[in-house]
Amino acid sequence: MKEFKFDHYYVYEELTELLNELSNEFPGLIKVNSICTTLENREVWACEITNYATGDVLDKPAYYVDGNHHAGEVTGSMAAIHLIYTLVTKYGADEKITSLMDNNAVYVIPRITPDGAQTYLTSFEKLRSVNRPYPFEKKAPGLHPTDVDGDGVIRMMRIESPNGVWKPSPKDARIMIKRMPSDFGGKYYNVYPEGLIEGFDGVNIQEAEGKWGLDFNRNYPLGWFPENRQPGAGKYPLSNPENKAVADFVIAHPNICSAVTYHTSGGCYIYPPGTMPEKNADQRDMRMFKEIGEMATEETGYGCFNIFDAFLTDTVNYSSGAFDDWMYSTQGVPTYTAELWDLEIRAGVPNVYPRTNPKTDRQNEEDMHLVYKWIDENVPMLASGKPIKDWTEFDHPQLGKVEIGGMDFKYTWQNCPPGYLEQEVEKNTAFCLRMAQTCPRLVIDEFKSEKIGEGVYKLTAKVSNIGYLPTFVTNEAKRLKVDKPLSIELMGNIDMVMGEKQGSLGHLEGFSGVNSGYYWDNIGTKAHDPFTKVVTWVVKGNEGDEIAVAVKGPKAGNAKATLML
């Protein structure tokens, strides 16, 4: 099999080649299917990963991961690909991965917007989710970002003006800082994205609304708002075929127990609800998010926060319609948004998270000095050249003399420089492998028979959930009434005397539900719902016949045991 390296970002063709290679080389471990064909005729690939010799994917508790809801957040796509590659190629060699694949399923949709990501990776363009006109069919009047000087990067463009509100920093002339109210007599500039002006009147420069404004992570049917409240949300919930395909996939796979959706950037894991404060949500579920989040911090160094409490600077007109909220608040599935790549944190920017107030101009300026210093010391060169371009004079076709400079945002801030990609995806895969192990896990501890009369037997089954999560997964799932109980069934040539061949076992607690902790020098454990249940039947049967018991749950998988009467 061809060797695939994680030292660059994969275009669609290389991503597809990798998935095809894996499915051909390991047909018993991975199946790759398209869930959507895009308008540019690319496939949205979905991978179903498990050891098929031990059962089908739908018969096992499952973990879900996706990447590239946003076109430019290609580090997330690479992290999803790395997880796929690790699971499939290390099966049989790594004990924990082998156990995971034998007992669980993993679903990965590595690139939800292949059209948008391809545009991002193969051109200078920056875009939110996809290269489809929205909300306008034609370009809006005003300045549109583009690569004017032909270096392959959209940077910044400054124009000297007595009315300019920016001036060079005395500490680093590449960095622009705000002009003070008392400043006169120096050189001042107005600063814009590098670009061209649609409908230019020769005087006024105003930034235009983006030509490709769709935001796939505002198109889900939970907290959805129209364009006037939530830019990019689309015409109606799931109006984008890619979003609908993802939602349909989730609904068609009710065994999904937990999920991570990969984004960039910032270096943090965030969890729902994003539509109300954490104190108003179910507190057991919030404790679960924090406990799993501690593992994310251990593996990645990223903090873990509730998005509403730690990030929203406007708690009235906030962004919503996101995938993580839809998963948790309609499906009851605990879902994290992982914001990969932590440039500001690496650069030593203070108080990156939580941040509930907008930064001041002065804070932004100080932070930018730290960021530029880190890039200078750690990123010597990119494919586009120097990661930070000095201000360089250029003859603009509409504006005449301008200066163009600044960083290559795409591969310094929004995504990690390629030299950091492998370490970034490896540590997040390490967390995902741990999180996937938190699913419920059914076992039949004991299945025995006792002869109590001629041809009459008492059967006893002891069933346990030895997983972290309960079989209902979250209290939110119970509140939504989407928690399906466990079923239990006896099979064999028997007649029932007491009990039913098929019945409900209700739910089994996971060890996350055990409230236990230190109290001075002692450890106390409070009462909790059972994670083990015992079921008995009385049956008529023939000595020597084989009898089986099977326990199943949509999110708990199944367990089976047999005995001879």
Residue-wise pLDDT for 299-356, tens only, equals: 999 999 999 998 887 778 787 899 999 999 999 999 999 999 999 999 999 988 877 7
Within 13 Å of residue 485, how many CA atoms lie on the same side as its CB? 8
What pLDDT score does 525 carry? 81
Across the range 264-277, mean pLDDT stands at 94
What pLDDT score does 519 carry? 85
Strands of the 486-491 sheet, one edge to the other: 502-506, 486-491, 546-553, 557-564
For 440-564, CATH number? 2.60.40.10
DSSP annotation of 82 = H
Q: Is the pLDDT of residue 235 over 90?
A: yes
- Percentage above 90 pLDDT, the chain: 88
Which residues of the chain are in CATH 2.60.40.10 domains? 440-564
Pair 128, 70: CB distance under 8 Å? yes
State the average pLDDT for the chain. Answer: 95
DSSP annotation of 483 = P
CA distance 222 to 237: 8
pTM of the model: 0.95
Across the range 187-194, mean pLDDT stands at 97
What pLDDT score does 14 carry? 97
Q: Any idea what the Cα angle at residue 126 is, between residues 241 and 82, rounded to 5°?
A: 70
For 12-122+213-341+417-437, CATH number? 3.40.630.10
Which residues of the chain are in CATH 3.40.630.10 domains? 12-122+213-341+417-437
